[in-house]
Structure 1
Amino acid sequence: MQKTILLFSFLLISTVALAQSDTSIFTKFNNFNNSVLNGGIKKAEAKKQFEEIMSYINSKEIVRSEVVTNKGQWVFPLKGYKSSAIGGIHGNGYFDKGYRFLDGNKHGAHPAHDIFITDRNQDCIDDRTQKTVDVIAVDEGWVISCTNKWEPTSDMRGGKFIWIYHPASKVFTYYAHNNHIFVKPGDHVKQGQKIAEVGRTGYNAYKKRSPTHLHFSEFKLVDGVPVPFNPYQQLLKAKTL
């Protein structure tokens, strides 16, 4: 009985401690990610930061009342759209050769799929529905980094972006060029939850020559840093909302 009480007390204290540090750990990681974009981060520091945030999230998952299971199927990241909206032919717009996470805003390649909406006048409104288009989380996870600030004079390529870590599958997803973001670092999101609205933020996406689209990527940790993996087949199989 005494052991049970001690165990319960330990879990309670741990839960409270985790709750109190929510903001600080995610704020720290968000600041780190911004530093990567601005350059000057070494691999050892990046590995340390990812180890810290992963350890923290794993601890959060242990004390959460709801167990996360790998659903095995994504939902398509744009509400009202399906895989036919992916740019290129059979996903050939994706190429990750030469990409390095630590290159930040200066990285080469295009380790992503651009998913286009119907927006001829480029006002970020769907021409068919006359409404904004929701960006939704492909799977359950934790928002580990995002920014809701971007100016047209900025050279940042992702604009208003979101990084989500999915504990069940141990992958990261990245959503860029958003117009408005409705989550913040530390938020736990459900599969299919609205996280943003499609926009035109970002150095290249803002230009008139670029059709309105979501820039979507998937990553896995390899030797402590994110490495891109082509999510095309998962997008083809994704449920539409």
Structure 2
Amino acid sequence: MKKLLLLFIAVLFTSPLFAQDTRSVCIKINELNSRVLNGTVKRADAAKQFKTLINQLSKMMHAPGTSEPWTFPLQGYKTNAIGGTNGNGYSDKGYNYLDGNKHTAHPAHDIFIHDKDQDGIDDKTGKAVDVLAVTDGVVIACTNQWQPASTMRGGKFIWVYHPEGFISYYAHNRAIFVQPGDEVKQGQKIAEVGRTGFNAYKKRSPTHLHFSAFHIKDGLPVPFNPYRQLVKSTAQ
């Protein structure tokens, strides 16, 4: 019976109608997220709209949870690349999703690459470093546009919703390779590490991936510290 249920879910998730419906919702989330970042939507309206859209998506994406370890989000790197001591660079105090680009917290782990000359290329391999999806999910927001004069701190970023009920966030990329509504598999390349973003672009900032994770509480993203999951993750 369990095998039949899993087969039914697999068929449902790969059907053209399902893909079309999820992409439509994800595009709406992406548009709303842009308005939140730009401060062009009232907080109450944004909260109501996000809650409605993420609830629709969660019903579409409902699937049995997985106990599999995450994939570490940087190709060729391990947890010792995480900044700080034992992940103490994480601080979510005062974070509110509705603050958009104006929030003052750092609910994230910065994962640094070998890049002394700050050209976005790994000093050891001579190549860009791939950003990987930590587990299966669907892209709900992203942008591949950013200019040095921009005050947007995330630069070129990606939000991925996972059926287990959380969102992962990957920021400061040099290039992204997904769009809202794209399904991604665990370990799939979704971007390359870069230096985009208001603070990350500056010389004082070593090249890194800004990685965050959020639970959905009362319909909105609320950060949680993913250090334990990162430590247990599998390097590629």
Amino acid at match of 1:158: G
Amino acid at match of 1:27: I
- Which sections of structure 1, spanning at least 5 residues, go unmatched? 1-10
| 1:60-113 Cα distance to aligned partner (Å, 9 max, x none) | x46xxxx66414310100010000000011111111101111000000110000
Which is further off, 84-93 or 44-53? Answer: 44-53
1:200 to 192, 195, 204: 195
- 1:56 alignment partner in structure 2: 57
- 1:129 alignment partner in structure 2: 125
- 1:225 alignment partner in structure 2: 220
Contact 1:177–1:213 under 8 Å retained in 2: yes
1:121-160 map, 5 Å: 121-160=117-156
So what's the TM-score if we normalise by structure 2?
A: 0.88
Distance 1:20 1:178 in 2: 27
Moved over 6 A (4+): none
Contact 2:75–2:130 under 8 Å retained in 1: yes
> Identity of paired residues, percent?
60
Alignment RMSD: 2.0
Q: CA deviation at 1:26?
A: 2.1
1:41-120 map, 5 Å: 41-59=42-60, 61=61, 69-120=65-116
2:85 aligned counterpart, secondary structure = coil
Contact 1:35–1:41 under 8 Å retained in 2: no
Kindly indicate whether residue 176 of structure 2 is the aligned counterpart of residue 175 of structure 1.
no
2:98 aligned counterpart, secondary structure = helix
2:173 aligned counterpart, secondary structure = strand
Amino acid at match of 1:163: W
- Which sections of structure 2, spanning at least 5 residues, go unmatched? 1-10
Aligned residues: 224
| 1:22-59 Cα distance to aligned partner (Å, 9 max, x none) | 54322221110001101143245324323324323532
So what's the TM-score if we normalise by structure 1?
A: 0.87
